[in-house]
Amino acid sequence: MRKITLHDVAKAAGVSVATASWSINDNEKHRIPASTRNRVRKIAHSLGYQPHALGKGLVNGTSDLIGFVTDDVATMPFAGQIIKGARDEAWRSGKLLLIIDTGGKESVEDKALAMMAEQQVQGVIYSTWYHRPVETPKFQSEKPALLVNCFDKQGLYPAIVPDEVQGGRAATELLIKAGHRHIAFVNTTSPSPAQTGRLEGYKQVLEEAEIPFDSSLITYVKPNQEGGFEVTGLLIDSGATAVFCHNDRVAMGIYDGLRQRGLSIPGDMSVVGFDDQMVISAHLHPALTTVGLPHYDLGVLGIRKLLRICHEKNANKAVSITRVKCPPIIRKSISELLI
Amino acid sequence: MRKITLHDVAKAAGVSVATASWSINDNEKHRIPASTRNRVRKIAHSLGYQPHALGKGLVNGTSDLIGFVTDDVATMPFAGQIIKGARDEAWRSGKLLLIIDTGGKESVEDKALAMMAEQQVQGVIYSTWYHRPVETPKFQSEKPALLVNCFDKQGLYPAIVPDEVQGGRAATELLIKAGHRHIAFVNTTSPSPAQTGRLEGYKQVLEEAEIPFDSSLITYVKPNQEGGFEVTGLLIDSGATAVFCHNDRVAMGIYDGLRQRGLSIPGDMSVVGFDDQMVISAHLHPALTTVGLPHYDLGVLGIRKLLRICHEKNANKAVSITRVKCPPIIRKSISELLI
DNA sequence: CTTAACCGCTTAAACGTTTAAGCAATTTAA
DNA sequence: TTAAATTGCTTAAACGTTTAAGCGGTTAAG
């Protein structure tokens, strides 16, 4: 049984292919009377007609695919939310995501961008699993492109990233509002927008609360469980009643460290994480109060902006960085301090 | 600047499009003398010619995309390895993965399968984030299809799944070899191939070691941290010296429970997990010995099998389920028992 | 010396769609 | 009553490839 083409539908309906095409798609220039349109549609459906994306794409000059190049979907799993957001938003416009993860290899990345161009994608989104500056990707076509969860050092493309400063503020505010005044900050040793942005937010809020900045409350560790575990001693010695951790994994390590010393959370120490890495944060004892990364929204906004650029021919060339809010997630790891 | 087509290349090289096409692709039926071929290729390259996947696909009757439909990439992150494996193997044959995750919604799934058909994919892989039986997906074309990490209840399609029985054996053997005789098994309450398979493996190994099966050592809990935490009491009372946990999250809960009672791992209790969920298992104190799921391999084998089916026209219709080994991952949570 | 095979290439059809241009019949405007 | 506009459609070109068929010219076989 051969595949049903538009031709078959047209013949069955006793009209030309042109009429069939206009009937099935709502072309605004060529209005077809409802009677014909419905008849053709009914016949198309009864024959089991399925449009042929390749034929369509060939004449339109573009497929209905949107390229999504990322360094690694799988490794840092919670970043998969970016894809989810992008997929949902793309879906709403009838577009499909063509995802390639490159494993961070530049050769793969170049090939990936070339393949996207070959596929005649509508545009390309370039995304990373953690927020960072990147070398400008070598987009292989003149199609629109933008960066999500990263930004190119030369500032040639629009970018959408989490607002690290606001995130740092949110975390610190949670502790301040609970009455804490001696708030340690366990930062990461890896230079990144997160490292500087969250610290900046922390400082801002302290200043606004008129708490003098005390650099002995700031420590730098590897951003994982081991880092948190090892810094616990210093943390206790510092006299802090609360700690803002660079991320949930560090917080998890500190949980371990405190428990090993017989200290309780939040009784002896209030803890705030960052990232809202569900597998961890929601299931620690007690559940961890943290700040989420707006991954889903990054994806949604990325596609939305990309499609907007696709549609406006008169390219609004204002290349800008959009910062998206990081929401505080309140659970059980902060104690209200009596003042 | 218009896009360079094969036509442009042909004209520049002073040959026909046919010759250009044969020169650029290595067609085995039509050999073109090396001199011509190299000349054309050089010109194509210097003009910056990029093949047009849509034109190609239209005449070939298929795109170079492979459909990958999954219920949820993002939620259960470690399953992203399936995609990684699939992507790597597809890449080796110059194919691209067209991934759609449906969020488990049937309406989305049906639409997704329809869209894959529209895109003229070479074939479709249907995958789930945990191993389970599924209703037979409504594949919308006669293209090859197969299931990965799941199998259809009617057995209409080939499937590739983890070997749960062997995994259960592997976990239990680790404990037996360390000298344990009283081995508890904290199973999940959710019915699944994992639930029955791992138990079966546990039983097999016990029997082979001539340890009588003791049903009081088997408990059933929700497969997460809370489940593990809550069962810790029972576990201690059972007199077991070791516990095989349905998964790493349960193990994490048991870590918490034991620690809260001042018991140590592996001194007071040896623990084996399942899944090798890196964020957890590699970073617990002590690092968790567990059994990995062969997600990456599932992906690789899935694509390999799919492409094989694509190529053999004389459809070898032997619809079979392939079971892939689950490797033990040895870390620090088992103590050698002196016998 | 004739016939057949081969070489290196060209011509042209085909894949399934969209859409500009055009045409006959009918309606509207003047 | 006639010209102009509108309606409802058709024809045919175009998108960028692949590939079957064919065509002169050379070489090999008999």
Q: In terms of Cα–Cα distance, which of B114, B177, B245 is closest to A52?
A: B114
- Residue-wise pLDDT for B160-192, tens only, equals 999 999 999 999 999 999 999 999 999 999 999
Protein-covered nucleotides on strand D (Cβ within 7 A): 7-21
User: Over 90: is that where the pLDDT of B30 sits?
Assistant: no
Give residue A28's pLDDT.
75
pLDDT of residue A78: 74
H-state helical runs in chain A: 6-13, 17-24, 34-47, 53-60, 80-92, 106-118, 164-177, 193-208, 225-237, 248-260, 278-281, 295-311
Q: What is the pLDDT of residues A52-68, one digit of tens each?
A: 999 999 999 999 999 99
Q: Answer whether any strand D atom is within 7 A of the Cβ of A58.
A: yes
Of A58, A74, A97, the CB nearest to B54: A58
H helices of A238-294, in order, are 248-260, 278-281
- On the question of a cis peptide bond just before residue A162, with omega within 30 degrees of 0, the verdict is no
d(CA B110, CA B99): 14
The H-assigned helical ranges of B27-93 are: 34-47, 53-60, 80-92
Per-residue pLDDT reduced to its tens digit, A153-169: 999 999 999 999 999 99
Q: Whole-angstrom Cα distance, residue A265 to residue A281?
A: 14
Are the Cβ atoms of A285 and B256 closer than 8 angstroms? yes
Query: Residue range B61-66: average pLDDT?
Result: 96
- C-alpha distance from B265 to closest chain A C-alpha (Å): 13
Which of A119, A260, A264, A298 to probe the B interface (max B CBs under 10 A)? A119
> In the prediction, which pLDDT does A212 show?
96
Q: Which residue has the tokens 């488990």?
A: B104
Q: What are the structural domains of chain A?
A: 6-51 (1.10.260.40), 65-162+295-325 (3.40.50.2300), 164-293 (3.40.50.2300)
pLDDT of residue A279: 80
CA angle (B209 as vertex; B207, B211 as ends), nearest 5: 65
Is pTM beyond 0.75? Reply is yes
Q: In what order do the strands lie in the sheet containing A218-221? A: A218-221, A183-188, A242-245, A270-272
- pLDDT over 80 (residue A194): yes
- Whether B114 CB is under 7 Å from strand C: no
- For chain A, how far is it from start to end, CA to CA, in angstroms? 80
B203 min Cα distance to partner chain A (Å): 30
DSSP 8-state secondary structure symbol assigned to residue B322: E
For residues A283 and B263, which has the higher predicted lDDT (pLDDT)?
B263
Cβ distance A114 to B283 less than 8 Å, yes or no, reads no
Beta-carbon contacts below 8 Å between A and B: 120
Q: Is the CB of A31 under 7 A from strand D?
A: yes
Classified as helix, coil or strand, B174 is helix
Question: Residue B124's pLDDT is what?
Answer: 97
CA B208 to CA A43: how far, in whole Å? 65
Structure tokens at A166: 């606001």
- Of the candidates B54, B115, B140, the beta carbon closest to that of A96 is on B115
Residues of B in contact with A74 (CB under 8 A): 77-78, 80-81, 83-84
Contacts of A55 (CB under 8 A, 6+ apart): B58
B22 touches strand D (CB under 7 A): yes
Cα–Cα–Cα angle for B38, A106, B278, nearest 5°? 135
Check whether residue A262 has its CB closer than 7 Å to nucleic acid strand D.
no
Asked whether residue B315 carries a pLDDT value surpassing 60, the answer given is no
Grouping H, G, I as helix, E, B as strand and the rest as coil, residue B256 is helix
**How close is the nearest chain A Cα to the Cα of B323, in Å?**
23
Q: Which residues of chain B make contact with A119, given a CB cutoff of 8 A?
A: 53-54, 65, 96
Asked if B194 and B155 count as a contact pair (C-beta separation under 8 A), the reply is no
Using the structure, give the distance in angstroms from the CA atom of A24 to the C1' atom of C10, rounded to a whole number: 40
DSSP letter (8 states) at residue B127: E
Strand partners, B66: B97
B140 neighbourhood in chain A, CB within 8 Å: 50
Q: Which nucleotides of C are covered by protein (CB under 7 A)?
A: 7-21
Whether CB of A120 is under 7 Å from strand C: the answer is no
Which of A26-35, A104-113, B125-134, B321-330 has the weakest average pLDDT? A26-35
Q: Can you tell me which residue has the tokens 């696709």?
A: A310
Of A52, A55, A98, the CB nearest to B96: A98
**Is 80 exceeded by the pLDDT of residue B313?**
no
Half-sphere exposure of A112 (CA within 13 A, CB side): 27
Task: Provide, as residue numbers in chain A, all residues whose Cβ is less than 8 Å from the Cβ of B253.
Answer: 283
| Closest C-alpha among A320, A317, A250, A335 to residue A284 | A250
- Band of residue A315 on the pLDDT scale cut at 50, 70, 90: low
Residues 36-55 of A with CB under 7 A from strand C: 49-52, 54-55
From the CA of A325, how many Å to the nearest CA of chain B? 21
- Which chain A residues 188-217 have CB under 7 A to strand C? none
